[in-house]
Chain A
Amino acid sequence: EAGVTQFPSHSVIEKGQTVTLRCDPISGHDNLYWYRRVMGKEIKFLLHFVKESKQDESGMPNNRFLAERTGGTYSTLKVQPAELEDSGVYFCASSQYSLAGSYNEQFFGPGTRLTVL
């Protein structure tokens, strides 16, 4: 079974440009999460989808970040316009549907390393 995949693996862009990151979760996983790790810092939660709905986007840093999950399958995270502080590794994770109060393991993708010059 294929794991969580992310594209691209690396992206180098200039400040002010737009970048779109893609995540393909494990087939059948309703939950999809985006995280970010800035150099030297901890992995930080950005948002959580259940199918195509945003369940929690409390971690999104500002309105330059837009996440979508049309059709409840793959997700994209767009940064527009990119700033220097957006550099880091963006991880996507997915998990199976979980009943309220329970938890299913989150499987992480390999991440996209974004460098903004």
Chain B
Amino acid sequence: QKEVEQNSGPLSVPEGAIASLNCTYSDRGSQSFFWYRQYSGKSPELIMFIYSNGDKEDGRFTAQLNKASQYVSLLIRDSQPSDSATYLCAVGGNDMRFGAGTRLTVKP
């Protein structure tokens, strides 16, 4: 079993829609959770982090964490074509474990 699992996609949504990205993790003791965005050929860029159960909102992005279910998600509201990228879920701190990423395409 992989430590961090994500659907590889591709996930395609129309412009203006909500994109929902999901991630599960195996280490029940994990405390820190991150979402990175990676454009093709570029470095990963942190867009959200969450430590506590519940929702955390930052602009159009909402991260949701459910430690009991070992599940973390990212919602992108009012999706834009510029949101098209691979989204990486990462768990841990100094020794982060990454999922393989979900490729999101937002169609104009």
Given contacts A41-B100, A43-B88, contact A108 B44 (CB under 8 A): yes
Q: How far is the CB of A97 from chain B (nearest CB, A)?
A: 12
A44's partner among B43, B46, B88, B98 (CB-CB below 8 A) is: B98
Q: Which residue of chain B has the shortest Cβ distance to A102 in the bound complex?
A: B93
CB of A59 within 8 A of chain B?
yes
Q: Which residue of chain A has the shortest Cβ distance to B5 in the bound complex?
A: A42
Size bracket of the B interface: 20 to 34
Q: Which residue of chain B has the shortest Cβ distance to A58 in the bound complex?
A: B95
CB of B32 within 8 A of chain A?
yes
Question: When chains A and B are docked, how far (Å) is the Cα of A58 from the Cα of B90?
Answer: 17
- Could you tell me how many residues of chain A have their Cβ less than 8 Å away from some Cβ of chain B? 24
A42's partner among B4, B42, B43, B49 (CB-CB below 8 A) is: B4
Given contacts A41-B100, A42-B2, A103-B32, contact A59 B95 (CB under 8 A): yes
A91's partner among B4, B43, B46, B49 (CB-CB below 8 A) is: B43
Question: When chains A and B are docked, how far (Å) is the Cα of A53 from the Cα of B46?
Answer: 25
Given contacts A41-B100, A42-B99, A42-B100, contact A31 B94 (CB under 8 A): yes
Contact B93 A42 (CB under 8 A): no
Q: How far is the CB of B65 from chain A (nearest CB, A)?
A: 15
Q: How far is the CB of B27 from chain A (nearest CB, A)?
A: 13
Q: Which of A42, A58, A105, A106 has the most CB of B within 10 A?
A: A42
Which 7 A-B pairs rank lowest in CB-CB distance, beginning with the nearest? A108-B43, A43-B98, A42-B100, A42-B98, A108-B44, A45-B95, A48-B94
Q: List 8 A-B contacts (CB under 8 A).
A: A35-B96, A41-B100, A42-B4, A43-B88, A103-B32, A103-B94, A106-B96, A111-B43
